[in-house]
Amino acid sequence: MSPGLVIGGSGRIFRFGNKPGILIRTPSGELRAFTAICTHLGCTVQYRQDLQHIWCACHNGHDDLDGVNIAGPPPRPLERYAIRIGGTRIHVSRES
């Protein structure tokens, strides 16, 4: 994935193995990546630019830009992934 594909204050779903991941460029320009699977019932989350956080439409779960639940039923934070930028590519992997 190219760094330019994710503009400030936006998010993009991508394939991470056989599950979705979400890459977010925070309003301040920092890149963050998480699993896109809600910890409540496994629905796919999305970035809500209007709220500036991660949202699950299934049961109105809300996670901040650190992946921590701030409202709704999700019982634990989203798994965060490590990001490395190499040239014009973004590489996402599980954190150690």
CATH T-level fold of 3-89: Rieske Iron-sulfur Protein (2.102.10)
Unique residue bearing structure tokens 């599950």: 19
Which pLDDT tens digit goes with each residue over 48-58?
999 999 999 99
pLDDT tops 90 at residue 92:
yes
- Mean pLDDT (whole number) for 15-22: 96
User: Where residue 16 falls among pLDDT bands split at 50, 70, 90?
Assistant: very high
Considering just the CA atoms, what is the radius of gyration of the chain in Å?
13
**12 token code pair:** 């993009």
Residue 51 contacts by C-beta under 8 Å, 6 or more apart in sequence?
62
User: What was the pLDDT predicted at 35?
Assistant: 97
CB–CB of 72/59 below 8 Å?
Answer: yes
